[in-house]
Amino acid sequence: MALKSASKTPTDARSIDERTGLTQEQRVLRARAGAYAQAAAYDPLQTTTNARKNGPGNNEYWLPIVDPNGELPERERVRRAVAAKKLHFTRLALKSSQARRKPAAPQTEPSPPVSLPRKSVARAGPRRAA
């Protein structure tokens, strides 16, 4: 997965970010360490409360979308909100399925073949004379 760099020029894993003075690999490790520090200090339910409450997984998120003026009866608003939520996640599932079906992009440079040494397998039982 490619990460975006702070600079506008093409980068690779060894290039230094002008703003932080770190390579891409070092930035990834710093971010990972921060995520682990947060996970060690806080309960995940505590840190994700607002996202779960205000995100599309919650039916309340869809109510103002399906009835912006609040004119529908409550039962109809909830029915439409549930349908809108199902529609949203079904579309996401379809896009995910289509993306998995696409053939992988060809590599710009073929990888060299990897040759691993073969392990000799010890055979059980007596050896036969040749």
Q: Where are the domains of the chain?
A: 14-47, 49-100
pLDDT of residue 87: 95
Q: Mind listing the pLDDT tens digit for each residue in 21-69?
A: 999 999 999 999 999 999 999 998 999 889 888 899 999 999 999 999 9
Residue 118: pLDDT over 80: no
Q: How far apart are CA 101 and CA 96, in angstroms?
A: 9
Give me the mean pLDDT over the 94-120 stretch.
Answer: 74
pTM greater than the 0.95 cutoff? no
pLDDT band for position 120 (50/70/90)?
Answer: low
* Cα gap 79→72, rounded to integer Å: 11
pLDDT greater than 60 at residue 11 = no
Residue 130 tokens read as 């040749």
pLDDT of residue 103: 78
Tokens, residue 42: 């806080």
